[in-house]
């Protein structure tokens, strides 16, 4: 397996534009997590899914952020409209819930909103 795949690796966009980040989890994993990492706030859990269903989205900063998981092999995190304070590295991770396995992280998407 190629691991968790995120795209794009880097995204630069103008304030007010819509941004969509993509994630392909490891095949067979049933839980998926979206994290945001900044120097100021560290690693923050935004939302996580179990069997494609959102379980906890309390970390989503505001209504401008939304996440979907239409099937077991794909998830998106959308920011609309984007703001400069959304600049961060966004990580996706997946795991096999209910087993003694760790989470596997993607390489991250570095988002810069100018």
Partner 1 sequence: GDSVTQMEGPVTLSEEAFLTINCTYTATGYPSLFWYVQYPGEGLQLLLKATKADDKGSNKGFEATYRKETTSFHLEKGSVQVSDSAVYFCALSDPGSSASKIIFGSGTRLSIRP
Binding piece for partner 1, criterion CB under 8 A, among 10-18, 20-28, 75-83, 97-105? 97-105
| Among positions 29, 31, 46, 60, the unique one binding partner 1 when judged by CB under 8 A | 31
| Among positions 23, 93, 111, 113, the unique one binding partner 1 when judged by CB under 8 A | 93
Binding of residue 91 to partner 1 (CB under 8 A): yes
Pairing of strands 53-56, 42-50: antiparallel
- DSSP 8-state secondary structure symbol assigned to residue 92: E
Binding of residue 25 to partner 1 (CB under 8 A): no
Residue 96: φ, ψ to 5°: -100, 100
* Binding region for partner 1 (CB under 8 A): 4, 31, 33, 42-43, 45, 48, 50, 55-56, 91, 93, 95, 97-108
């Amino acid at each position: 397996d190629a691991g968790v795949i995120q795209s794009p690796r880097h995204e630069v966009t103008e304030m007010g534009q819509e941004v969509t980040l993509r994630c392909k989890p490891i095949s067979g994993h049933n839980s998926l997590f979206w994290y945001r990492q900044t120097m100021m706030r560290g690693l923050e859990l935004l939302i996580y899914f179990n069997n494609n269903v959102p379980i906890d989205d309390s970390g989503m900063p505001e209504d401008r952020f939304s996440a979907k998981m239409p099937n077991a092999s794909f998830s998106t995190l959308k920011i609309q409209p984007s703001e400069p304070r959304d600049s961060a590295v966004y990580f996706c991770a997946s795991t096999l819930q209910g087993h003694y396995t760790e989470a596997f992280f993607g390489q991250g998407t570095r988002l810069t909103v100018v």
